[in-house]
Amino acid sequence: MDKPWGGRFKEDSSKLLEEFNASINFDKELYKEDILGSKIHAEMLCNIGILTLAEKNNIISGLNKVYQEIEDNEFVFKIQDEDIHMAIEKRLTQLIGDSAKKLHTARSRNDQVALDFKLYCLSKNNEIKVLLLELISTLLDIAKNHTKTIMPGMTHLQHAQPVSFAFHLLAYCFMYRRDVERLFDDYKRNNYSPLGSSAFAGTPYNIDREYTSSKLGFISPCYNACDGVSDRDFALDLLYSISMIAMHTSRFAEELVLWSSYEFRFITISDSFATGSSIMPNKKNPDVAELLRGKTGRIYGNLIALLTTLKALPLAYNKDMQEDKEALFDSCSNIILSLKVLIGMLKEITINKDEMFKKAQIGHITATDLADFLVQKVGISFRESHHIVGKIVAYAESKNCDISELSIDEIITQDNRIPKDVKEVLDLYHSMNSRKSFGGTSEESVREQIEFLSKWLNAK
């Protein structure tokens, strides 16, 4: 019986149990966090007199050797070791002898895994934030060059009002800004150390939890040991934040798919971020954008999976919680790769300004400007103005043209109260720049938004 808990048992574990119970095949991802936590725990045990200085140094030296073996792919992970914690402890014992067995004093695998997993989540939080900031910066660089680039703004996927391409991109910048702020909030809320909670009720040893939490970069130890080992809110917070990022990215990807089609031709995706067809030699497929959209489903699924796993667990630790890691590992790796590929694709994208402008001349998208003009100039109610402009749009439709292409005489024929200087308001640039309200699409307002985001980025 070579299990660390084997003293209670008279029979060896079933091979099926070992396969079913083990997490080593996936929680080996936590080796850096596990070794770091063990080092700091050893330092604390030395400080309070449980380890001698020589024992502490021997343990840390041995842990460094284990770390290097894993980094060099020389470490042999065995299913019999159950998890990363036992695998490292077993190898440490082989390297330095019995002093390794003192390392587990005043801790349990329950607080050990909670620590490792929380450190991992906080690390991925930072990694994702860095990529989001780079993405926002990339979008801002594009936006700065397109404050005068007219495109049809849409609602219901129908041409609505003229906006600048910069204005449209900035909407995504502000979405991703919320994602960054959410991650900052998540980090602060969850930055409390579970180490020292032991199994779930604390420990009789005179441990120094303030020391270990400070050395590991936490604000403080968690205040309740039972909560410390049973809490997985930090993982759910990260999964939710990743789901929001994926949702925003999926919306953006959907537009990239549309914009790159022959029907729109707003953008051209670089050959290095597109694929072809196995049968149709004419095809250039936006597979990257489609996969960005498609990843959202599995990311949502990972969030729901962990919520479901945790929904009926009694306190404190339960083995069900072993199911928390694979879902989170998957979401982290997929959102990190997705953000990297989106940034790379955007840096090589071509913006087809002429096509955007051409499409903006379709759909009567200055009709609202005409309605507002009649309210301001003629003094009629907006509802009456809306009706008059609707008639003008119908007339233009019958002529198979846009309202901006109608002559002044044709417009006035629909209602003789319309002033002769009406044509100015039908100009696309005039329409875009007339919306000077805070957050609007005028060039002045858009530049203010760019400046705001630039200052925010520089402060991060």
Indicate which residues carry an active-site annotation. 156, 277
Cα–Cα distance measured from residue 129 to residue 192, given in angstroms and rounded to the nearest whole number: 20
For residues 340 and 376, give the distance between their C-alpha atoms in angstroms, rounded to a whole number: 49
Is there a contact between 31 and 67 (Cβ–Cβ < 8 Å)?
yes
CA 382: distance to chain centroid? Answer: 42
Q: How many helices (H) and strands (E) does the chain have?
A: 18, 6
Secondary element (H or E) of residue 266: none
Element (H, E) at 155: strand 150-155
Decide: 128 and 183 in contact? Cβ < 8 Å: yes
Paired tokens of 197:
């909670």
Q: Taking a C-beta distance cutoff of 8 angstroms, is the pair 239, 328 a contact?
A: yes
Which residues share a beta bridge with 104?
Answer: none
Token reading at 178: 């919320």
Q: Please state whether the peptide bond connecting residue 316 to the residue before it is cis, i.e. omega within 30 degrees of 0.
A: yes
243 and 251 in contact (C-beta within 8 Å)? no
Within 8 A by CB and 6+ apart from 459, the residues are none
Q: Please, what is the Cα angle at 117 between 113 and 122, to 5 degrees?
A: 150
CA–CA gap between residue 246 and residue 232 (Å, rounded): 21
3-class SS of residue 222: coil
Rounded to 5°, angle at Cα 297 from 242 and 20:
85
Burial bucket for residue 293 (CB in 10 Å: 0-12, 13-18, 19+): buried
Q: Up-side HSE of residue 155: CA atoms within 13 Å toward CB?
A: 3
**Between the CA of residue 34 and those of 63, 67, 87, 113, what are the distances in Å?**
10, 10, 11, 8
